[in-house]
Amino acid sequence: MEEQLCQEFATNNFVVENDEAAQQCDLLWFGRGAGASMCVTFGLKPDELVSSWELFYLNRQMDGGRVLNSHLASFRQFLERERRESFRKKQTGLHFYTEDDIDMLLDDGKQNGELEENPLPGTPRAVSANKQISNPNILFEGSVYEDPDNLTPPPVASKTRGVGTNTPGDIFTPKFGDTPFGRRSNKCTVQSVFNEHLVEETSDSVSPPASEEEVVRRIRPIQRCQVDVIGTWPKSGCRYMFVRTENRVNAIERRMQKFATSISEKLQCNLATHVAVASQEKVTVVGRLCCEGEGRLNEKSVLLEGSIEHSNGMRVRLDLRNVSQFSLFPGQVMVVEGQNPSGYCLVASRILDASPLPSLTKLSQEEDPPAKRQAIHLLPQDPVQSETSHQLCILTAAGPFTTSDNLAYEPFVELLAYARKKRPNLLVLMGPFVDRDHPHIKQGNVDKTFANIFEEQVRTRVEEYCEEMGEGARVLLVPSYRDAHHDCIFPQPPFDANGFEDPDRQITLLANPGLIKCNEITMGCCTADVLRHLSSEEVSRAPPGVSSDRMTRLASHLLAQRSFYPLFPAAQGVSLDLSLAPGSLDLPCTPDLLLLPSNLAPFVKVLSVPLTSSLEHIEETGNVAATVKSICVNPGHLAKGITGGTFAEILIVPYIENAQSQILESRAKVTIMRI
């Protein structure tokens, strides 16, 4: 078992510290003299254990790719917590009290000087250690156990942590300060800052004034930014999930043809070669990766599927023994150079998997005829033109926007309060807004329709925010396939504009995924957790002694493959439909700013992908300028469980004359904050 674990760790670019670490992974001691195999205890295979380690490794933001002895105890607690959460999700209408619940109740009692008689409805009262319980049935105040003659059935405990019985009215209007979110102590704390040296030219925030007249005098109108929507998307009310196999095949074929055309133009090579034709000479073929069988992709199960046009869709095994560096996932389109002496196995010597597009600014400056340029569809421009000499402030947050113990949307209210103080030019809100995975939504503990919840809790508050902040404030709404009140499909149409009262055109409704141009920068948004999905499917190899940032590598796949969601087949739970709007998942240009909310730890990364489709070419020529760069931001989720999460504040400073660098990487300040 230890050898299998070490081999699986090595396959996923993890180095086990020593034999003792491998033994602890295989044999974890609980107590004195009692040993149990971790794989057997948690019901995991070696590959599943390593996958769990990868998730633990990414969330902890550890570096080096080493499995250390000091991390194994925390990893064991992580596995135990995941197993408990998995068991809870299978139950309905039950709540399991854990040490966290007890600690929360004890902490509240210590802060108040003594424990309350009934801290939360439906929870047990604290009993003194020296006091014996004469009647064990008297545990809950006002329940059937207190009065044996009372035949009223006991209340059913809520599934959410730390919460007892809730009526439909309670979950929408809880008592102020009586929730774990209201009692949090780390309000608006800064988690991390990218380009901390950049400062705002003028602050639009409002400090405590002496009088109300001073407030009016000091608040200046918000500089209105120009927002244009780029690309195509499915139409609202479309008929989906009736996709035919032919449509899927055509979508995959179109991706391979576009990729092959791009590579052949850049490298001046012929890619019209059959992938399964035996040849003793070197051949260059194009295809997409797929897994030989069910389960996760690994180096021994990689197949290359050729295009229908040149290879009739045939597949060959891909041998990667001679490739020193790669990062692969199912659905990835690439060009492979190698030998195929038998016709059944292609021994690769070189892999080209990146063909990004330039940014929109570079596309507009090209001198090529319009027929050779990427077709970009823009909505009618906003009548109010913006000045690029002003700084741009963007506030972005991703759902869920309410905690799991109620539907009062307390984090969302706090976010809008912060936005009123900060006064950003653009407020980007990414779904889910009415999360279908919310415990009260799943159990049906609501007396309102999902559309009414969105209207009362989200749409009304957004309209009030726009009216209060003036016509200069802009709001961008991006849906999610987890929204219970919207089309559960990906790619996803935008919200219906007829449901919003927006006389000043302050609210922009974007599809999922979507791309916009805000002043001089382009910004892409995708609410599908593509980073998490790629992380669970990717297999990579790096040369000895060379380390690479995993999050940067995963996010760079979107630019390299020219797609918001290059993974195929899609992850479980993603209702991918490739027949609605062909090209809606494609990136028409490389966005300057990429917003990818994920369950992984929030981060800010600078993506750099070579335009030449080969890192070796850059190393040989030293032409680092032949790359496209983008800033990727994972703002996290605004609500995490029963408490608050994180959001991101982005500041774009204007161009500076005679400056050495005008790229967005040196002009953007990104702050990850806790709500």
96-120 per-position pLDDT tens digit: 555 555 555 555 555 444 434 444 4
Distance CA 256, CA 130 (A): 74
Measured N-to-C along each axis, helices 550-561 and 530-537 cross at an angle, to the nearest 10 degrees, of 110
E-only strand ranges, 150-220: 190-194
How many angstroms separate the CA atoms of 432 and 435, rounded?
5
* Pairing state between β 392-398 and 426-430: parallel
Using the 8-state DSSP alphabet, how is residue 496 labeled? Answer: P
* Percent of the chain with pLDDT strictly greater than 70: 73
**CATH level 2 (architecture), domain 245-352:** Beta Barrel (2.40)
CA distance 41 to 52: 14
Question: What pLDDT is recorded for position 121?
Answer: 41
Q: Establish how many alpha carbons lie within 13 A of residue 409's alpha carbon, considering only the half-sphere containing its beta carbon.
A: 22
Mean pLDDT of the chain: 78
Decide which of 135 and 80 is more confident: 80
- The 3-state DSSP class for residue 569 equals coil
Residue reference for tokens 């005008």: 662
- As to burial, measured by CB atoms within 10 angstroms (0-12 exposed, 13-18 middle, 19+ buried), residue 213 is exposed
CA atoms of 600 and 531, how far apart (whole Å): 8
**pLDDT tens for residues 514-534?**
999 998 899 999 999 999 999
Sign of torsion over alpha carbons 559, 564, 568, 570 = positive
Classify the phi-psi angles of 61: left when phi > 0, otherwise alpha if psi is within -120 to 50, otherwise beta.
left
Instruction: Please tell me the predicted confidence (pLDDT) of residue 164.
Output: 40
Per the CB < 8 A criterion, the answer to whether 189 and 644 are in contact is no
* Residue 17: closest CA among 29, 4, 6, 28: 6
544 or 426: which leads in pLDDT: 426
So what's the pLDDT on residue 385? 42
Are residues 348 and 316 in contact, defined by beta-carbon separation less than 8 angstroms?
no
Specify whether the CB–CB gap between 33 and 71 falls below 8 A.
no
Token output for 89: 């999700």
**Burial (Cβ within 10 Å: 0-12, 13-18, ≥19) of residue 640:** middle
pLDDT over 70 (residue 153): no
Q: Which helix (H) or strand (E) holds 392?
A: strand 392-398
Mean pLDDT value of segment 294-299: 86
Q: Of 133, 108, 135, give the one whose Cα is nearest residue 120.
A: 108
* Residue 451, Ramachandran bin (φ over 0: left; ψ between -120 and 50: alpha; else beta): alpha
How far lies 181's CA from each of 18, 375, 411, 582, 649, in Å? 43, 47, 8, 43, 21
Among 238, 225, 224, 250, smallest CA distance to 511 is for: 238
377 compared with 107, residue with greater pLDDT: 107
Whether the full predicted model's pTM is greater than 0.85, yes or no, is no
State mean pLDDT over 136-152: 38
Segments making up each domain of the chain, as ranges: 2-90, 95-126+135-165, 245-352
- DSSP letter for 109, please: H
pLDDT tens string 598-627: 999 999 999 998 875 443 443 444 444 468
